[in-house]
Amino acid sequence: MILVTVGTQLPFDRLVAAVDQLAPSLGVPVFGQVGRGAHVPSNMEWAPVLSSDEFARRFAAASTIVAHAGIGTVLMAQRWRKPIILVPRRAGLGEHRNDHQLATCSELEGRPGIYVARQTAELADLLGQPLLPSGNEDDADNRQGLIEGLRQQLRRWS
């Protein structure tokens, strides 16, 4: 199963609509935690929000995660060793107040199992290929590197 998550704070209709359109061609079930956006998916199972237990259950069952560039989701993907495709929200499209998710993706891109689709058109290519899991057996070192990289980015922003 592919799990799509947009987080709990803001809608992300561009991501939800893109995955909804692709869902029939993916050959695996797709479930979306889609928030309170305007797009109502017609090609995948979905819910606006999930309890933390249900979210963890679906996360554990997923083969791939497709998400906004929220760091909590990235860390969870590493912990569960799931490949994750990040689609950053863009301020210019009214999806967030600034472009910090683009910056986050720039910092994370190229790390094992973390893939970035800056444009939703890139999702089809990424979902059509085998993806490596994020993290590794020595995840504590990776997590520390990820946290330190994010701290450095935050210092640059402030």
Q: CB burial class (10 A; 0-12, 13-18, 19+) of residue 108?
A: buried
Rounded mean pLDDT of 127-148? 76
For the chain, helix (H) and strand (E) counts, in that order, are: 6, 6
Both structure tokens of 66:
């497709």
CA dist list (Å): 156 to 67, 68, 78, 97, 139? 24, 22, 25, 18, 26
Q: Of 143, 87, 134, 81, nearest to 112 (Cα)?
A: 134
Rounded mean pLDDT of 21-38? 96
Rounded mean pLDDT of 94-102? 79
Q: What DSSP state is assigned to residue 107?
A: H
In the chain, the percentage of residues whose pLDDT exceeds 70 is 92
User: Identity (one letter) of the amino acid at 153?
Assistant: Q
Outline where DSSP puts E strands in the chain.
Answer: 2-5, 30-33, 45-47, 64-67, 84-86, 114-116
- Lowest-confidence pick of 22-31, 38-47, 69-78, 87-96: 87-96
Locate the domains of the chain by residue range.
Answer: 2-157
Q: Of 54, 7, 45, 11, nearest to 26 (Cα)?
A: 45
pLDDT confidence bin for 102, thresholds 50/70/90 = confident
Tell me the CATH number for domain 2-157.
3.40.50.2000
User: Is the predicted pLDDT of residue 151 greater than 70, yes or no?
Assistant: yes
Dihedrals phi, psi of 150, to nearest 5 degrees = -70, -40
pTM recorded for the entire structure: 0.84
State how far the Cα of 111 lies from the Cα of 92, in Å rounded to an integer. 26
State how far the Cα of 136 lies from the Cα of 79, in Å rounded to an integer. 9
Question: What are the residues facing 47 on neighbouring strands?
Answer: 33
pLDDT confidence bin for 153, thresholds 50/70/90 = confident
As a whole number, the mean pLDDT across the chain is 89
What is the structure's pLDDT at 92? 76
